[in-house]
A and B are shown apart, each in its own frame.
Chain A
């Protein structure tokens, strides 16, 4: 074992389960560069050629701003459900959560459940109202009866901040992952991702982005289905037999690592501990706060909300969430099986892992990829690597499109041009923004290479839960909500979620390098507090708002509600 590997395994041993949990949120960590993998690269090349061909087809259909933002509203519920799943299942979920299951078993599924439970909330309270009131961005809905300039400025800020953090995490993850899987240099990987993402969005708009996401979702679901099937087939399709093998492997590893008689005696208990909750949840406040960030953050992610405008009506919008929930839930169940497959098939194989320390080739995030190799050989491992790359592309394309719409539709067309942009300029602005965002994403991706960005995906969820979600839900459901309340409360949620994250251990200590224990805010996630601040802020600054504008906004609630509930006057698909 060379010095760097030694260091890596020590660092891994020092990591607590909660750190791994955070890493699963988006940081793929520092990784060793692997030999160039030609099988994976050629599979990926096939994917790229296919998606570029689709982009060319989509470009011919992308003529108006409506085509660019919503694919003309002509996507079916089933297609949109797959696209949402493709937008949502990131490489970090795929590789990070399977790695987490491999290292700590049951704790991995706690994370998965958190990522899933926001979907019913979207279904029951938001999906149809979004579709009925909205056109291109969630600000159309949040600002339906409000003073356009301030609410759009807020919504665009919320969108851009969430997109920025999510995008940086994805770019850094992409660079690390591609270095690992394909053996390319970090910066080359980041430039490839940024370049392809710009091409998809710039030329193909929402149509190309949707199809990239659908194809990626199908490939990913097919890949994990095959892997989980093969893992289970090794154990006679008995989960109990698979779990028993996992416990046995973990017990052996614990016994091998034991240096004292007490540790040897405790090996069996340590092996069995992967079947129950471990150190992921340290204190109840962190548990609840983190759960709230995941649950309500999902319902405030701008790139996800935007997908509801691509379907023709409320019926299809509901179908979309149902299919998205189904595919995402199915995916997470299989990821758990694959994580146990990694314990049973990867940790035990000296070709992939050190049988004494239990460290695997290329670091813990290679768990799922090595399961692919174990059950399907080199060719399938190449396929899974290419799918992981495609996964990142689909997610960043969705993020960029959503950031571009916030700038062109909310800021340019509505705030600057007062809702009357000269013909064709809105589309030009969104394309220019796409270019700018792509360049910024590449530069930030390179700048953050050596940084610990583990907190960024969690932060994006916390901001979405604390800024976008409260404003959206109260503007939809609460008659007395006013522009002043929504904007002030929303900004309070935005600022407090960022500030509390900065002074939390994951940034203050892990990223900024302050001594352990010096963080002012002790919890994993700010959502419990920042959401409370946002809701209280919106409530207080709304009820104390006695302006004529506020009276007008309260008076407009009933009409908004009629339209939200019945779809009267909802924007129709432009059709082709």
Chain B
């Protein structure tokens, strides 16, 4: 199925812009992946090791610190997904289109 002999593939592989795109996009992807893992397993770790921290009330009421943290994790999840998609769909897709165009020439 894959074809190393395809001249398009070889031209793209040799294009420094492609190498730069790969580095940039994967750099962002992995950074955000690690961030997500830290946030999620941090949350799970708090539940596993320090339940009291999450169960402490914020002020005089019954709302605990756990509530904004849990909701925060949900909002954070949506937000970093949005951040990546925005970057990838604008900047990185422009670079990709340019690379494909150069290779077709």
Cβ contact within 8 Å between A281 and B44 = yes
Q: B64: which A residues are within 8 A, CB to CB?
A: 106, 275-276
Chain A residue numbers with a CB within 8 Å of B70 are: 106, 109-110, 113
Q: Are A319 and B51 in contact (CB under 8 A)?
A: no
A254-278 contact mask (Cβ, 8 Å, vs B): 1 or 0 = 0000000000000000001101110
Tell me the chain A residues, 293-343 only, with Cβ under 8 Å from chain B. 295, 314-315, 318-319, 321-322, 325-326, 329, 332-333
Residue in B62, B67, B84 whose beta carbon sits within 8 Å of that of A272 in the complex: B62
- Cα distance, A409 to B35, chains bound together (Å): 37
Q: Which residue of A lies closest to B93 (CB)?
A: A315
A559 touching B9 in the complex, CB below 8 Å, given contacts A145-B2, A566-B100: yes
> Which chain B positions have C-beta within 8 A of A276?
51-52, 54-55, 64, 66
Q: Which residues on B sit within 8 Å (CB–CB) of A120?
A: 32-33, 36, 77, 80-81, 84
CB neighbours (8 Å) of B73 from chain A are 113, 117
**B4–A325 contact, CB under 8 A?**
no
Contact between chains at B33 and A121 (CB < 8 Å):
yes
Contact of B84 with A239 in the complex, beta carbons under 8 Å: no
Asked if A332 and B74 make an inter-chain contact with CB atoms under 8 angstroms apart, the answer reads yes
Say yes or no: A144-B32 contact (C-beta < 8 A), given A123-B85, A325-B77.
no
A272–B84 alpha-carbon span in the complex (Å): 39
Chain B residue contacts of A559, Cβ below 8 A: 2-4, 6, 9, 13
When the two chains form their complex, are residues A566 and B29 in contact, meaning their CB atoms are under 8 A apart? no
> What is the chain B residue whose CB lies nearest that of A560?
B2
Docked Cα-Cα span, A110 to B47, in Å, equals 9
In the assembled complex, the Cα of A246 lies from the Cα of B63 at a distance in Å of: 11
Q: Which residues of A, 528-576, contact B by the 8 Å Cβ criterion?
A: 555-556, 558-563, 565-569
**A287 & B47 in contact (Cβ 8 Å cutoff):** yes
Which residues of B lie under 8 Å from residue A319 when comparing CB positions?
85, 89
A447 at the interface (CB under 8 A from B): no
How distant is the Cα of A325 from the Cα of B74 in the complex, in angstroms? 9
A110-B47, A124-B84, A319-B89 are contacts. A325–B96 as well, Cβ < 8 Å?
no
Chain A residue numbers with a CB within 8 Å of B84 are 120, 123-124, 318
Q: Does A119 contact B (CB under 8 A)?
A: yes
Query: Inside 8 A of B18's CB, which chain A residues have their CB?
Result: 562, 565-566
Taking the complex as formed, is A247 at the interface, i.e. its CB lies under 8 A from any CB of chain B? yes
Chain B window 80-91, contacts with chain A (Cβ cutoff 8 Å), 1 for yes, 0 for no: 111011001100
Residues of A within 8 A of B40 (CB): 113, 117, 291, 295
A200 at the interface (CB under 8 A from B): no
Q: Are A288 and B33 in contact (CB under 8 A)?
A: no
Q: How many A-B residue pairs have CB under 8 A?
A: 168
Residue of B with least CB distance to A294: B40
Bound complex: CA A109 to CA B68 (Å)? 11
Chain A's closest residue to B87 (CB) is A318
Task: Give the chain B neighbours of A145 by CB distance below 8 A.
Answer: 1-2
CB distance from A119 to the nearest CB of B (A): 6
A267 CB to nearest chain B CB (Å): 15
Does A166 lie at the interface of the complex (its beta carbon under 8 Å from any beta carbon of B)? no
Q: Which of A246, A287, A555 contacts B44 (CB 8 A)?
A: A287
From B21, B44, B75, name the one whose CB has the most chain A CB atoms within 10 angstroms.
B44
Instruction: Give the interface size bracket for B toward A.
Output: 35 or more
Minimal beta-carbon separation of B21 from chain A (angstroms):
7
* Alpha-carbon distance A342/B61, docked complex (angstroms): 20
The answer to whether B96 touches A567, judged by C-beta atoms less than 8 angstroms apart, is yes
Q: Is the CB of A240 within 8 A of B77?
A: no
A566 x B1 contact (CB < 8 A): no
* Interface of chain A, main secondary structure: helix
* Set of chain B residues within 8 Å of A272, measured between Cβ atoms: 62
| A112 interface contact, C-beta 8 A | yes
CA distance A399 to B45 in the complex (A): 33
CB contact under 8 A between A240 and B63, given known A326-B78, A333-B74? yes
- On whether A315 and B89 interact (CB within 8 A), knowing A276-B55, A277-B47, A281-B44, the answer reads yes
Contacts of A281 in B (CB 8 A): 44, 47-48
A169 CB, nearest partner CB in chain B, Å: 24
| A333, B55: Cβ atoms closer than 8 Å | no
Is A244 within 8 A of B61, CB to CB?
yes
Q: How far is the CA of A100 from the CA of B93 in the complex (A)?
A: 43
| Distance in angstroms between the alpha carbons of A567 and B73 in the assembled complex | 32
Whether B44 pairs with A291 at a CB distance below 8 angstroms is: yes
Q: Scoring A residues 112 to 136 as 1 if CB is less than 8 Å from chain B, else 0, what string do you get?
A: 1100110111011100100000000
**A243 pairs with B61, CB closer than 8 A:** yes
| Complex contacts, A321 vs chain B, CB 8 Å | 81, 85
**Counting CB contacts under 8 A, is A513 at the interface?**
no
Q: Which residues of B contact A109 (CB under 8 A)?
A: 70-71
Measured between alpha carbons, how far is A300 from B33 in the docked complex, in Å? 16
A284 contacts the other chain (Cβ, under 8 Å)? yes
Residue of A nearest to B6 (CB): A559
- Chosen A-B contacts, 11 in total, with CB atoms closer than 8 Å, are A117-B77, A123-B85, A144-B2, A272-B62, A275-B57, A280-B47, A281-B48, A318-B84, A318-B89, A556-B2, A562-B13
Q: Which residues of A contact B (CB under 8 A)?
A: 106, 109-110, 112-113, 116-117, 119-121, 123-125, 128, 144-145, 239-240, 243-244, 246-247, 272-273, 275-277, 280-281, 283-284, 287-288, 291, 295, 314-315, 318-319, 321-322, 325-326, 329, 332-333, 555-556, 558-563, 565-569
On B, residues with C-beta under 8 Å from A are 1-4, 6, 8-9, 12-13, 18, 21-22, 25, 28-30, 32-33, 36, 40-41, 43-45, 47-49, 51-52, 54-55, 57, 61-64, 66-67, 70-71, 73-75, 77-78, 80-82, 84-85, 88-89, 93, 96, 99-100, 103
A-B pairs with the 7 shortest C-beta distances?
A276-B55, A124-B29, A284-B48, A556-B2, A322-B85, A275-B64, A287-B48
What 9 additional pairs, Cβ within 8 angstroms, besides A106-B66, A565-B21? A243-B67, A275-B57, A287-B48, A318-B84, A329-B75, A558-B4, A559-B6, A561-B22, A568-B100
